[in-house]
Amino acid sequence: MLALVAHAWLYLLLTAAEVSWVVAVAVRVWRRREDGMTTAIRTGVHKPTLAVLLAAQLSYVILRQVGRAKLNRRVREYTSQRGRA
């Protein structure tokens, strides 16, 4: 149960960080739109933050897959033990 709650908090935290970053970037790009869209996008997007968010998203996906694999293994073990009893 604690793992499910931790997963929910982690998902919400990651989603909130991504949404706030997208909103901040959209505002920066919108304010610089007079310079041209390519220049506005090039200067408005904070690349180190983008890299951190991508790394966090990748870590989340990997941890989610590991958690699913562990859960599936525990279910198989439980099922095999219940089948013998």
Average pLDDT rounded to a whole number, residues 46-64: 93
pTM, two decimal places:
0.74
Burial bucket for residue 40 (CB in 10 Å: 0-12, 13-18, 19+): middle
pLDDT digits (tens, 9 = 90+) for 38-52: 998 888 888 999 999
Domain boundaries, the chain: 2-84
> Residue 56 is encoded by which pair of tokens?
């966090």
DSSP 26-73: HHHHHHTGGG-HHHHHHHHS-HHHHHHHHHHHHHHHHHHHHHHHHHHH
Distance of CA 57 to the CA centre of its chain: 3
Average pLDDT rounded to a whole number, residues 14-35: 94
Q: Note the pLDDT of residue 84.
A: 67
